């Protein structure tokens, strides 16, 4: 599977990952090489095989809907790069 530069840029956009031109070059080559090695999976017959998303048999774990002690607003905001009062401050989401 050979990836094009455009595909690398498109994936980076989906991942919201900024890349330099040099990184795009390197990833184009490395990802192509890695994906080519993964072609080997196409040899395995998986018709009628269900997928495994996790290895244990637990499902639908629920807990009681009860109020319990939690972090204070101050603790939650303590690591915020930018805050204003009791809020995280972010760039404008909607622009004109």
Partner 1 sequence: MTNQMTIHQTHELLKTRQLSSVELTQAYLERIRQVEPQVHALVTVTDELALEQARQADKLIASGNISPLAGIPVVIKDNMCTRGIKTTCSSKMLTNFVPPYNATVVEKLNKCGAVVVGKANMDEFAMGSSTENSALFTTHNPWDLSRVPGGSSGGSAAAVAAGETIYALGSDTGGSIRQPAGFCSVTGLKPTYGRVSRYGLVAFASSLDQIGPMTQDVTDCALVMNAIAGHDRWDSTSLPYPIPDYTRCLTTDIKGLRLGIPREYFVEGMQAEVATAIKAAVSKLAELGAKVDWEVSLPHTRYALAVYYIIAPSEASANLARYDGVKYGYSYQEAHSMWEAMEKTRQYGFGPEVKRRIMLGTYALSAGYYDAYYLKAQKVRTIIRQEFDRAFEKYDALITPTSPTVPFKIGEKTDDPLQMYLSDVCTLPINIAGVPAISIPAGFANGLPIGMQIIGKPLGEETLLKIAYAYEQATEWHKRKPEI
CA distance 49 to 62: 29
**Residue 22 contacts partner 1 per CB under 8 A:** no
Of the residues 17, 25, 73, 84, which one makes contact with partner 1 according to CB under 8 A:
17
**Residue 19 contacts partner 1 per CB under 8 A:** yes
Of the residues 21, 65, 66, 79, which one makes contact with partner 1 according to CB under 8 A:
79
CA distance 81 to 35: 37
- In order, the DSSP letters of 63-74 are ----------HH
**3-class secondary structure, 14:** helix
- Give me the residues that bind partner 1 (CB under 8 A), please: 3, 7-8, 11-12, 14-20, 23, 27, 30-31, 33-35, 37-38, 40-42, 44, 46, 49-56, 58, 61, 63, 71, 75-76, 78-82, 88, 90-93, 95
């Amino acid at each position: 599977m050979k990836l094009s530069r455009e595909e690398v840029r498109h994936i980076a956009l989906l991942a919201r990952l900024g890349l330099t031109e040099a990184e795009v070059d390197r990833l184009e080559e490395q990802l192509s090489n890695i994906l080519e090695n993964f072609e080997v999976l196409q040899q395995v017959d998986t018709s009628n095989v269900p997928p495994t998303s996790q290895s244990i048999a637990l499902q639908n774990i629920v807990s009681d809907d009860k109020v319990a002690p939690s972090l204070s607003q101050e603790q939650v905001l303590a690591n915020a790069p930018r805050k204003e009062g009791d809020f995280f401050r972010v760039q404008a989401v909607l622009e004109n």
